[in-house]
Structure 1
Amino acid sequence: MTIRIYWQLDVAAENGRSEPTERPRYQPVIRDIRTASINRYDYYAQIARAAALTGFDGLFVAHRTDADDSQIVAAAVARSAPRLTIIPEFPASVGSAVYAAKQAVSFQRLAHERLGWAIAPDADAATRARGADLVAEDDLIARTEEFLIVARGVHGERPFSHKGRFFEVEGGGFEAPLNRVAFPKVFLRGTSEEALALSARHADVHLFDDAPIDELRGHIEALDRLALKEGRNLDYGILQPLVARETGEEASEAHERGLAGSYDEIADRLAELAALGINHFILGAEPGFEEAYRIGQFVLPRLRARVAPARAA
């Protein structure tokens, strides 16, 4: 089994730090001879480069309501780390599924088909209302499903027509060259029966939050059965905040949330998850720039060494 490891860029956490003002050590995202300072997006680009330099396969840009837009951040850093897969997370309430699909194919052309789509869990009713999203709670899963149907539809065929509860398209679809790139790999989340059923129908990768092994095993087995009925196969992933240090004692001292342990202990836990069938790992720690180097240098080689024998077998 080939594993894919992504670093999580949490724009809300990074915005809690002071705005960078020093001259960049690396080439900034946008060259501007008028100023010697760098802005927040140059710092995001440094995190992306740190992930690329230390062996991560991709960058997961978390959706946060009160922070920079994940898709804008993803596009801004895409050329700073030309090897990484870039996965912005965003809710299905972003607007037109047709326009979202057009943005996706434009991104694919920009970044040589390195885009993934992570559909964010829907926020609570009050938060959704502040964002002009008044879809009823019971309709959220259906809205996400229709969003994906329409986005894939206009990407995959022309003319494409659809008349649903949330989206309506008449004779849509993309012409060349927009129709020549792949649709992004879709990452979905959730452990409710409805969320698992949605992934069985539409996800390429289903993401879980950190949970006990037995609980994860139960969800994977349930989703495998659902996907089999749909004639589909899914990959599985996990969003794993962590604190890794040279020793477990140091990790405990620095621990605030997430998995904590020595580099070897963290690699052992992640390898255990890989043996369960999880092959997409979205790892995150704060501060993102410094920790990307730490995890990339000391945890990733250990993890890959542990799963290599399983792949060979």
Structure 2
Amino acid sequence: MTEVILRLPSGPAPERGLGPAATDMRGGLYGPLEEAFQTWRAAEIAGLAGVLAPDDPDGEEPWTVAAGALRSGRHLRAVAEFAPSFATPVYAAKMSATLQRFTGGRLGWKVTVGGDPAERAAQGDTVTGADALRRADEFLTAARGVWQERPFTFEGDFYRVLEGGFGHPLSGGPFPTVYLSGRTPGELDLSAAHADVHLLRLGDDPEAVRAELDRRAPGRAVRLGVELSVSVRHVGQDDGPPEEVSGRWGGFASLGHTVPEGFVGTPAELAAEFDALRRRGVTVFVVEARPALAEAYRLGEHLLPALADLEREETADAR
């Protein structure tokens, strides 16, 4: 089944106001929290599979955002993006067990490895390179271990857990869906061992990545996803990519996107691009689209139905 997950805006919230000509007597009654709530609700109403709260040094804290998104709806899933330096694996697992209990198992983890060393160091994280991969492997091993076993003991280079594990009521719930990414041998090893979904970027070869994951972990089902930006063309559009841009475009950074490459087009054109990737084994689409509130509705009203039509046509043809 194809899933579309909306990547929430990152970076500092924009300044709001009416300028020197007027005074807004409402004060902070409508602020960034209300806009975030409306975006989460839009994603649920529009039928998106979930939202991803990004780990951005200048943005909101992703676990808090993910918890708010989970609380705002009954079906929407939320993925918190974080580095293992965020917390010990036991504490991260305990937080997640509580969130899973309160939200019916709708939490996901996007565990990041690497990134800009200067940005990571500014957050107090100086582990880089192969050590970062080994730490992520230990983090996920220990987190899943205390979730599933009691007593659980683990002794690694970065973490030690002695006679740990969860009892009632934290035990028994589903472990968060784990999203990982990367194309290096070490990153593929990590995904083969721990990922439920391995995220690609446009330009990666899905068949080649699938073959590498299968070779590393025969019989283990790891779904393929892709992170990309989109701009859905519509009548009267006065922002977004230049009018002459259509199809695959690498200029989304100029619009403030975190993911620089993606697709521009009508709902039918974008659905065809998504469908082409789906036929190559990609079933999860983590989509960045701005402004997120308006685009959440647009994706649900226009892109998802067009994509569903293509899937029904393929099913009918197969019969």
Length-normalised TM-score, structure 1:
0.87
Per-residue deviation at 1:118?
A: 0.9
> Counterpart amino acid of 1:301?
P
Structure 1 residues 191-248: Cα deviation after superposition (integer angstroms, max 9, x where no partner) = 1111111111111110112226xx33322222232221xx31111111121111148x
Q: Which residue in the other structure is 1:7 paired with?
A: 6
> 2: distance between equivalents of 1:311 and 1:140?
43
> 2: distance between equivalents of 1:20 and 1:300?
35
Structure 1 residues 122-143: Cα deviation after superposition (integer angstroms, max 9, x where no partner) = 2222222111112242211110
Q: Which residue in the other structure is 1:245 paired with?
A: 233
Say which is worse superposed, 37-46 or 64-73, in terms of deviation.
37-46
> 1: distance between equivalents of 2:37 and 2:215?
40
Q: Which residue in the other structure is 2:14 paired with?
A: 17
Aligned residues: 293
> 2: distance between equivalents of 1:149 and 1:243?
38
Runs of 5+ consecutive residues of structure 2 not aligned to the other structure: 19-25, 246-250, 253-261
Q: Which residue in the other structure is 2:281 paired with?
A: 277
Per-residue deviation at 1:35?
A: 7.6
Matches of residues 1-313 of structure 1 in structure 2 within 5 Å?
Answer: 2-12=1-11, 15-19=12-16, 37-211=29-203, 215-228=205-218, 231-246=219-234, 252-253=241-242, 256-257=251-252, 258-311=262-315, 313=318
Instruction: Give structure 1 regions of 4+ aligned residues with deviation exceeding 3 angstroms.
Output: 249-252, 309-313
Q: CA RMSD in A?
A: 2.2
Q: Which residue in the other structure is 1:30 paired with?
A: none
Runs of 5+ consecutive residues of structure 1 not aligned to the other structure: 22-33
Alpha-carbon contact 2:84-2:112 (below 8 Å) kept:
yes
Per-residue deviation at 1:177?
A: 0.5
> 2: distance between equivalents of 1:252 and 1:274?
25
> 2: distance between equivalents of 1:161 and 1:57?
36
Per-residue deviation at 1:252?
A: 4.7
> 2: distance between equivalents of 1:283 and 1:124?
22
% identity of equivalent residues? 33
> Counterpart amino acid of 1:170?
L
Length-normalised TM-score, structure 2:
0.86
Alpha-carbon contact 1:41-1:73 (below 8 Å) kept:
no
Q: Secondary structure at the match of 1:197?
A: helix
Alpha-carbon contact 1:227-1:234 (below 8 Å) kept:
no
